[in-house]
Copies of this chain bind each other. A is one copy, B any other.
Amino acid sequence: MTAKTAAALMIGNEILSGKIEEANLVVLARALRPLGISLRRVVMVSDDIEEIAREVRALADTHDYLVTSGGVGPTHDDVTVEAVAQAFGVSVVSDANVEAMIRQHYGTRCTPGHLRMALIPAGAILEATAQVSWPTIRIKNVWLLPGIPEIFRLKLQVFVEKVGVSSRAFVTHAVYTKMDEGDLKPLLDAIVERYPDVDVGSYPKWHHERYKTKLTFDGQDETRVGAARDAFVALLPPGEPQEITDG
Contact = CB atoms under 8 A, between A and B. Distances in A.
A157 interface: no
A19 B183 contact: no
A51 to B, nearest CB: 8
A167 interface: no
A162 interface: no
B41 A148 contact: no
B18 A42 contact: no
Given A26-B21, A40-B46, A13 B201 contact: yes
A182 B18 contact: no
A20 interface: yes
Contacts of A76: 185, 188-189, 192, 200, 202
Interface stretch (A111-119, A134-142, A230-238): A111-119
A99 interface: no
A43 interface: yes
Contacts of A10: 42
B30 A16 contact: no
Nearest to A199: B13
B39 A42 contact: no
Given A21-B26, A150-B207, 20 more contacts: A10-B42, A13-B199, A13-B201, A15-B29, A15-B42, A16-B29, A17-B172, A19-B216, A22-B22, A25-B44, A40-B45, A41-B44, A43-B43, A75-B181, A77-B202, A106-B182, A113-B182, A114-B183, A116-B182, A150-B206
